[in-house]
Homo-oligomer: A and B are copies of this chain.
Amino acid sequence: MQVVFTLYPGITALDFVGPYQVLSNVPGVEVVLAAVEPGTVSDDNDLLHLRVDTAIADLSAPDMIVVPGGPVANVHRAAESPLVDWLASRHETTTWTTSVCTGALLLGAAGLLDGLRATTHWLSYDELASFGASPTEQRVVIDGRIATAAGVSAGIDLGLTIVGREWGDDMARAIQLGIEYDPQPPYDAGSPSKAPAPIVELVTGLLRA
């Protein structure tokens, strides 16, 4: 099974590394990091610089695709790259086509979410709907072969969900134990329905700026 992470300039690092840490632990999985142009891909802080050796064009039939997200301006730039056509064509033969956070907007741009239930970062529900998707306030949404995760950290839950479906519950449990994923956030502000209203307003302003 070949799992391809599609990286592009300005991704959010944890969007990618969360599901990467889960899926790369499955024995026999071939993980490939790929980009439109091989070279260095930097994250949204321009602090983390990843070497990417593989061009997406050279990957003809990935079994699974994971599209990480990033600040919407960066996602919009990626939406004007050959990545979108590649997603549309390679999706035809995948077992799973997946996204984390605003990566869902790239699946949408590729025309893959029309009429489907899907999720994204909570600030991008409206844009997700513009692609014909029904934004669904869940951590991980599966509709057919497409699995979308909520914002940033939800990619870990996405990874474990797919591992459970594809390789069985015990494989997912073993990986969860290996990465000691027994989350205990010191605050309970991880979704707009849980965070205090002033915090929601603050973050909305910052992320939309």
Specify which of B21, B139, B178 is in contact with A184 (CB 8 Å cutoff): B139
- Decide: A180 and B164 in contact? CB cutoff 8 A: no
Determine the chain B residues whose CB is within 8 A of the CB of A18 once the complex forms.
14
A140–B172 alpha-carbon span in the complex (Å): 24
Interface residues of A in 135-174 (CB under 8 A from B): 139-140, 150-154, 156-157, 160-161, 164, 169-170, 172-174
Specify which of B31, B47, B174, B181 is in contact with A152 (CB 8 Å cutoff): B181
Specify which of B31, B172, B194, B206 is in contact with A178 (CB 8 Å cutoff): B206
Main secondary structure of the interface of A (DSSP, over half): mixed
Determine the chain B residues whose CB is within 8 A of the CB of A173 once the complex forms.
187, 189, 195-196, 199
A154–B184 alpha-carbon span in the complex (Å): 8
Assuming the A-B contacts A12-B21, A17-B14, A50-B48, are A157 and B180 also in contact, with contact meaning beta carbons closer than 8 angstroms in the complex? no
A114–B174 alpha-carbon span in the complex (Å): 32
A179 contacts the other chain (CB 8 A): yes
- Decide: B186 and A174 in contact? CB cutoff 8 A: no
Residue-wise interface mask of A (59-102) relative to B, using a CB-CB cutoff of 8 A (1 in contact, 0 not): 00000000000000000000000000000000000000000010
Q: In the assembled complex, how far is the CB of residue A42 from the closest CB belonging to chain B, in whole angstroms?
A: 9
This chain's copy number in the assembly: 2
A191 contacts the other chain (CB 8 A): yes
Determine the chain B residues whose CB is within 8 A of the CB of A194 once the complex forms.
182
Closest to A51 in B: B49
Interface residues of A in 185-203 (CB under 8 A from B): 185-187, 189-192, 194-196, 198-200, 202-203
A207–B174 alpha-carbon span in the complex (Å): 11
A201–B129 alpha-carbon span in the complex (Å): 45
- Decide: A176 and B151 in contact? CB cutoff 8 A: no
- Decide: A176 and B180 in contact? CB cutoff 8 A: no
A121 contacts the other chain (CB 8 A): yes
A13–B24 alpha-carbon span in the complex (Å): 11
Q: Other than the known A151-B178, A153-B180, A170-B196, what 4 A-B pairs have Cβ atoms closer than 8 Å?
A: A24-B45, A153-B156, A173-B196, A174-B195
